[in-house]
Amino acid sequence: MDSGLQEFEKGHLAFQKIKFNQSKNRFKKLVDEGQNPKALFIGCSDSRVMPAMITGSKPGDLFIVRNIGNFVAPYNPDADYHATASAIEYAVSILEVSDVIVCGHSHCGAIAALYKNIQETPENIHTIKWLGLGAEAKKVATLAHKHDSKERMLRYTEKISVVYQLDNLLTYPAVKRRLEEGTLYLHGWHYNIENGEIEYYDDENYEFKPLSEK
């Protein structure tokens, strides 16, 4: 039975023959010297969001962690498994990136799911728990835009959720320490799938503005 991955297999061969050869020296340098990424990019797992594509970054530039809704769970020092938390700690404490980007996007399925009555089952128990990280953003959006259209409220929820995730980042000891030292900077972004534009959160004016105008 065809797995449906034939186009990816062909794409890999094309990558080897063309793109890899074009950047062969860069890849060799990354092997010899190790990685030294400029930023940690926390993005959504949504297949329409391609961090390298929308930022024009090259191999070795971004340390990327993706999850449903680009959420950041608050720091919790227990012995359980915390994938996003471990990526944050590794990027900030070990790789010592200078910047952390939390990037939301338009038409986010996780944000839309906050407004649906999804019944918890054994098949989605982790998803339901994870979506709880968007509850505060939904609460604020519902109050601020209760008389607006559904689409307008969803776009607002996507953006305000990014702000809440930035707040959660501040609960991590390494993040807090390096912010106080002035060696780390946090950024909130929102990527619009329709027009390819990224907006950034201006924490002085409490609004999102076009990154192109920064």
What's the whole-number mean pLDDT along residues 126-133?
Answer: 97
Average pLDDT, the chain: 95
Let me know the angle formed at the C-alpha of 12 by 9 and 16, rounded to the nearest 5 degrees: 145
Contact (CB, 8 A) for 212 and 197: yes
Query: CA angle at residue 29 from 11 to 24, to 5 degrees?
Result: 35
Q: What is the pLDDT of residues 74-126, one digit of tens each?
A: 999 998 999 999 999 999 999 999 999 999 999 999 999 999 999 999 999 99
Task: Output the 3-class SS for 129-177.
Answer: HHHHHHHHHHHHHHHHCCCCCHHHHHHHHHHHHHHHHHHHHCCCHHHHH
Please state, as a whole number, how many other Cβ atoms lie within 10 Å of the Cβ of residue 116: 7
3 state DSSP class of 25? helix
Inform me whether the pLDDT recorded for 185 exceeds 70: yes
pLDDT of 2 over the 70 cut: no
Phi–psi pair at 85, nearest 5 degrees: -60, -40
Confidence label for 63 from pLDDT (cuts 50, 70 and 90): very high
Looking at domain 37-213, its CATH class is: alpha beta
Looking at residue 172, its amino acid is Y
Taking CA atoms, 165 is separated from 25, 47, 158, 169, in Å, by: 37, 21, 11, 6
C-alpha gyration radius of the chain:
19
Closest by Cα among 55, 20, 50 to 39:
55
Spans of all domains in the chain: 1-34, 37-213
Confidence at 157, pLDDT banded by 50, 70, 90:
very high
Nearest-angstrom CA–CA distance, 133 and 165: 8
User: For position 214, what pLDDT does the model report?
Assistant: 82
Q: Residue 3 above 90 pLDDT?
A: no
Q: CA torsion, points 58, 63, 69, 72, in degrees to nearest 10?
A: -150
Is the pTM higher than 0.75? yes
Q: Which residues contact 168 (CB under 8 A, 6 or more apart)?
A: 72, 73, 74, 75, 133
pLDDT over 70 at 202, yes or no: yes
What pLDDT, on a 0 to 100 scale, did the predictor assign at position 144?
86
